[in-house]
Structure 1
Amino acid sequence: MEAKSIEYIEHITENKKNMLKQTPLDYFLRASFAGALLAFVFVMCIKFAQPFHAAGSEATYFVYSLFFGIALILVIFGNAELFTSNTMYFTISTMRKKTTIGDTLKIWTACYIGNFIGAILFAVIFYYAGIFANIPDNHFLHSVVNGKLSADTIQLFFRAILCNWIVCLACFLPTRMQSESAKIITIFLTVLVFFSSGYEHSVANMGLFSIAFFTYGLDVTSTLHNLVPVTLGNIVGGMVFVGMFYGYLNRKK
């Protein structure tokens, strides 16, 4: 039933694998671009939510999450490389023997590093732009960061599973659609499910923590409490609940 989607994934994973092997700089640039794009949109979400947060409105988190789907739309239509979606893509291609476990691990590692570099680069430029200069301690940025750093490790892991389950569906479902507008709407609404529910996305958090580090000196080591379980949970969510799920249902019989 998903033959078109599987064929598309086999094609793009072959291209990704070859790009990393033949022109690794190109691959790292695309991965860095994705990290920066997510950070771009994260800033917008925080800016939109801040007035509601300051007023104590119950609509704060809805406003905060409303437009984050733009980030994944930019990544997909901009042909950027996102770690979380690659957990699903390369699981399917490896199950179908189009790529190897070695290929998968190389892509995941390169993409993760590239995403982080892009997030940090954006945060540096954003810092010098001065948009969050001298923000008060009760600013919404502090609230979001503190919430992510204070959560229990097990909770973070399972929130990350749920997150990438939805994110990878947002990447998989549009592959069978012809209409560009249908793809955009599907991505936008599907991402709204994850972001409004409070799930955890490793690459989005890279951008958030990088911004917080340059803005008010967030302790770098404290971010590991979040990023380690969230990264592992994202891998499980994308690999098992979407990649293995559709890989098994579309196995060669």
Structure 2
Amino acid sequence: MAYVKPGEVLDAMIEAGTAKASLNAFHIVIRGLLGGAILACATTLAFTAVSQTSIGLVGALIFPVGFVMIVLLGLELVTGTFALLPLSVMERKTTMPRMLASFGWAILGHLVGCGLYAVLYGLTVTKMGTDMSNPLAQMLIQLSETKTLGYQKMGYDGMMLVTIKAVLCNWMVTLGVVMAFTSKSTMGKIAAMWLPILIFFAQGFEHAVVNMFVIPAGMLLGADVSMADWWLWNQIPVLIGNFVGGALFTGVLFYLSQRKFTRNLSFAQQGTKLPDTKAAILPAEGSGL
């Protein structure tokens, strides 16, 4: 399946982050719009599967189809770039202002795409607003309230909980992005990406872009959630948690794990003899150890 070694994956991540940082605002917004709408569509597909089977894991098995489409089409998913752009900044191939601008335009695109799909889907499941009995409509209302008011009732603990769930979520999501670099074949990329995305969705972690659809959709359908509830008790802490999970747990730690490896490779390619680590570790004869 044309496996790509970790050192090469790291180089590809840095290059991808640099390329994304160089995009203009128009392209980022359009790609973010499409990425948000596609992920929202995959979310409702997963909810439909859960509603039909009453098995949550079935929805998790299906949901990654949206992520795969976004990555293969080169669209924008800000949570994925949280692991790429910081590496480009660390390598001084782009700047912090450009990274933050890229994030901002992508988030704007996601909000438009998710909002547009929320309106269209809401009209669909309610038969143009005439029938609220569809279980999917009720599911969205319940989820919208759970993802906001549920944390609000817990106070400080709720804020910590939603942030931790966001960190764990994007650790897996960004691993999906990284795994896509481990293969040069389309089928290999799909299989590699599928695994981490399944893990996050099956465990109910918090994903910023998914929530940009779920919470507004529930609000449109009648959920007792205000704009302040949405942003204060979910969207802002989830974005922060997603950034930490992607940038630190995947991006920075993977970067640190591979830097020595790639440096040793460069020694070998230049024909330079590496230090005798065995001699350095083992005690000398007669040392008494």
Question: When the two structures are superposed, what TM-score results if normalisation uses the length of structure 2?
Answer: 0.78
The list of structure 1 runs, each at least 4 consecutive aligned residues, that deviate by more than 6 angstroms after superposition, is none
Task: Note the C-alpha offset of 1:131.
Answer: 4.9
Q: Which has the larger radius of gyration?
A: 2
Root-mean-square deviation over aligned CA pairs = 2.1
1:124 equivalent in structure 2: 119
In structure 2, distance between residues paired with 1:222 and 1:135? 23
1:167 equivalent in structure 2: 173
**Alpha-carbon contact 2:40-2:213 (below 8 Å) kept:** yes
2:108 equivalent in structure 1: 113
Task: Provide the aligned length of Structure 1 versus Structure 2.
Answer: 244
Query: Is 1:80 matched up with 2:75?
Result: yes
Query: Is 1:204 matched up with 2:210?
Result: yes
1:3 equivalent in structure 2: 7
Task: Note the C-alpha offset of 1:142.
Answer: 2.9
In structure 1, distance between residues paired with 2:182 and 2:165? 27
Gap change, CA 1:157 and 1:203, over 3 Å in 2:
same
In structure 2, distance between residues paired with 1:129 and 1:70? 21
* Percent identity of paired positions between Structure 1 and Structure 2: 24
**Alpha-carbon contact 1:35-1:119 (below 8 Å) kept:** yes
- The answer to which of 86-95 and 216-225 deviates more is 216-225
In structure 2, distance between residues paired with 1:177 and 1:119? 30
SS at structure 2 position matched to 1:200: coil
1:214 equivalent in structure 2: 220
Task: Note the C-alpha offset of 1:137.
Answer: 9.1
Spell out, residue by residue over 1:17-61, the C-alpha distance to the aligned partner (whole angstroms, 9 max, x if none). Answer: 2222xxx21221001111111111111112222244xxxx5x2x2
Task: Note the C-alpha offset of 1:165.
Answer: 0.4
**Greater relative CO (CA pairs within 8 A, separation 6+):** 1
SS at structure 2 position matched to 1:31: helix
Query: Superposition pairs for residues 1-253 of structure 1, below 5 Å?
Result: 2-20=6-24, 24-52=25-53, 57=54, 59=55, 61-131=56-126, 133=129, 134-136=131-133, 139-149=138-148, 150-151=150-151, 152-216=158-222, 218-224=225-231, 225-251=233-259
SS at structure 2 position matched to 1:9: helix
In structure 1, distance between residues paired with 2:208 and 2:91? 27
Task: Note the C-alpha offset of 1:192.
Answer: 0.7
Write the letter of the residue equivalent to 2:64. G
| Higher percent of residues as helix | 1
Structure 2 residue runs without a partner (length 5+): 152-157, 264-289
In structure 2, distance between residues paired with 1:48 and 1:220? 29
**Alpha-carbon contact 1:48-1:64 (below 8 Å) kept:** yes
Write the letter of the residue equivalent to 1:223. W
In structure 2, distance between residues paired with 1:171 and 1:131? 35
Write the letter of the residue equivalent to 2:189. K
SS at structure 2 position matched to 1:79: coil
Question: When the two structures are superposed, what TM-score results if normalisation uses the length of structure 1?
Answer: 0.88
- The answer to which of 228-237 and 144-153 deviates more is 144-153
SS at structure 1 position matched to 2:76: coil
Gap change, CA 1:227 and 1:194, over 3 Å in 2:
same
Structure 1 residue runs without a partner (length 5+): none
**Alpha-carbon contact 2:46-2:58 (below 8 Å) kept:** yes
